[in-house]
Structure 1
Amino acid sequence: MKNFKKYLFGLLVFAPLSYSLTSCNDNDDTQGTSHVAVRMTDAPGDYDEVNVEVLDVMVKGNADTGEEGWVSLGNVNPGVYNLLDLTGGVNVLLADNDIPSGFLGQIRLILGDDNTVVKDGVTYPLHTPSAQQSGLKLKVNQTLEPGLTYNFLLDFDVEHSVVVEAGGSGNYNLHPVIRVITEGTSGAIKGQVLPIGLQTLVSAQVNGTEVSAYTNETGSFQLNGIPAGTYTVTLTPDATTGLPAVLVENVTVVNGEVTDIGVHTIE
């Protein structure tokens, strides 16, 4: 339906503007404001381009899954974004605003029709299945403190979000797989793998979950949303090369900082 141009591919979250946020103390009329910013980044996938049209960023002050209460965050930067430009630590600001402090519930992106994927130089429409139109809602359930700035990073996993339709139809569907990261309460790991052009999967185990990203065209990578601690980073080259994986041990991460592990050559 053309009317449903605004495909809702929900993400994570926060608290709506003015009237929608609730204070930690309902009797406190001077709760103050917090500054929130929503940014988008990407883990590379095996495509030339993955373009999504962002029309709006909607926010909601509670965890209710219904359709009532959604409002625009405001100060939105609409446009068509190539997700593969947002790799190796690059991100783009989608929206930011001052909102009343209090409980942060949910957020979702409003997408337009201009979504495409480019594979081997050929451009294909990137469809949003009807099941996604109601929104994929991710919850943060966080209380915003007055006077503080909160940066929410939407880490878009292209490899798992773009799905080729079965049966050889050549259709591409968007099934968003996104991690929501609160910068300041986590850190990141970046580096570079040589030789340039060698596709390498970079991964680390975080509390029993694998966080991973592919290197981009320059061999650079960044793993976002890594809590403070010490980790082993695994560099796994494309299996067709026959090259061994490389372990980088004792990588220390500090919340709010990016740990650079430097350049590593696989041979």
Structure 2
Amino acid sequence: MKTNVPFLTSALALGALLTLAGCGKDNDKSGAAKLRISLTDAPGDFRAVRLDVQRIELHLKPENDPSGWEVLPFTPQTINVLEYVNGRSALLVDTDFNPGTPQEIRLVLGPNNFVVGRDGNTYALKTPSGQTSGVKLKLQNVTLTAGQTYQLLLDFDVAKSIVERGNGNGNGNQNERYLLKPVIRVVAQDLNGAIRGTVSPAAAAPQVLAIRSSITVPDTFSTMADASGAYQLWSLPAGTYTVKYFPTTSAPSGQNAYQNATKGGVTVTNNAVTTIDNVSLQP
């Protein structure tokens, strides 16, 4: 899905989380709040996108207090984010904390981040900030109380997060072709509206944009249809949307060209899935 501008930092954006005042084995679990953090993704034009996630940290004190970082219980792992699309998500953190109000979260990446292109070649992802201080996002109005579960979804936008450098030559130049600049939308999972549907032909591999036009400054969310032509945009706020489809491939020789398409007046409500009938991108 695409970014929702208020949730982004400048070049790097990543986020998530709960609320708490302390964490560790000595916490009184009878008065604890529960935090669950999951990762999902929009399909991108790659065979695989693997992130070397080493640590997830939460900042519990004022912004300028360097002692406020707490390491969350998380097993370092390499995650292929393209495995978690169209409603699927990977659970990263599931733990108890004392109630409180966190300020920001940090994702620390190791050096082994890479993509597998459509050409089958593997390319390293350079992550200048993610390898040092980590990718950070401030949290706003996040508070968890005792006995409640706070679920937060990290919605990774592959299309915007992986940038092809101008001097990448596409011939296996693993250190030059791609940069990782994570763009991740932070979603509290009490936003339960969703849009799903199919497009044909699936070979058009369209990008799907849902634009919430019922507010003063429109929000835009995005995904791509998968290999079967199915797509889903989830954790959407209620409202009226215009859904646009943009093919990313060309039709085979002898077939009609793939065309853009638009569906207007799509209504999304909380706790419901809005299904759009199949959209044809070829006359």
TM category, shorter = 0.7 to 0.9
1:14 matched to 2:14: no
Please report how far the alpha carbon of residue 130 of structure 1 lies from its aligned counterpart in structure 2 after TM superposition.
4.4
1: CA distance, partners of 2:184 / 2:233 = 13
Per-residue CA distance 1:49-77 (angstroms, 9 max, x = gap): 11112222211224615543211221x24
Please report how far the alpha carbon of residue 161 of structure 1 lies from its aligned counterpart in structure 2 after TM superposition.
0.9
Name the stretch that deviates more: 181-190 or 39-48.
Answer: 181-190
Equivalent residue number for residue 135 of structure 1:
134
Equivalent residue number for residue 174 of structure 1:
180
Please report how far the alpha carbon of residue 181 of structure 1 lies from its aligned counterpart in structure 2 after TM superposition.
0.7
Q: Structure 1 counterpart of 2:188, which letter?
A: T
TM-aligned CA distance change 1:221 to 1:257, over 3 Å? same
Matches within 5 A, 1:108-257: 108-119=106-117, 120-130=119-129, 133-141=132-140, 142-168=142-168, 170=173, 171=176, 172-206=178-212, 207=215, 208-238=218-248, 240-241=250-251, 242-257=257-272
Identity of aligned residues (%): 38
TM-aligned CA distance change 1:240 to 1:255, over 3 Å? same
1:96 matched to 2:94: yes
Q: Which runs of 5+ in 2 are unaligned?
A: 1-11, 252-256
Name the stretch that deviates more: 168-177 or 59-68.
Answer: 59-68
Contact 2:53 2:79 in 1 (8 A): yes
2: CA distance, partners of 1:53 / 1:30 = 31
Contact 1:235 1:247 in 2 (8 A): yes
2: CA distance, partners of 1:257 / 1:105 = 31
Please report how far the alpha carbon of residue 261 of structure 1 lies from its aligned counterpart in structure 2 after TM superposition.
2.6
- Report the 3-state secondary structure (helix = DSSP H, G, I; strand = E; otherwise coil) of the residue aligned with 2:102: strand
Contact 1:10 1:108 in 2 (8 A): no
2: CA distance, partners of 1:56 / 1:11 = 13
2: CA distance, partners of 1:13 / 1:164 = 26
Question: TM-score w.r.t. structure 2 length?
Answer: 0.78
CA RMSD of aligned residues (A): 2.7
Number of equivalences: 250
- Report the 3-state secondary structure (helix = DSSP H, G, I; strand = E; otherwise coil) of the residue aligned with 1:12: coil
2: CA distance, partners of 1:62 / 1:261 = 45
Q: Structure 1 counterpart of 2:281, which letter?
A: I
Name the stretch that deviates more: 147-156 or 233-242.
Answer: 233-242
Contact 2:153 2:189 in 1 (8 A): yes
2: CA distance, partners of 1:135 / 1:204 = 30
Question: TM-score w.r.t. structure 1 length?
Answer: 0.82
Per-residue CA distance 1:129-157 (angstroms, 9 max, x = gap): 24863233212221223322221111111
Equivalent residue number for residue 26 of structure 1:
none
TM-aligned CA distance change 1:263 to 1:19, over 3 Å? same
> Which of 105, 108, 113 is matched with 1:107 structurally?
105
Name the stretch that deviates more: 167-176 or 30-39.
Answer: 30-39
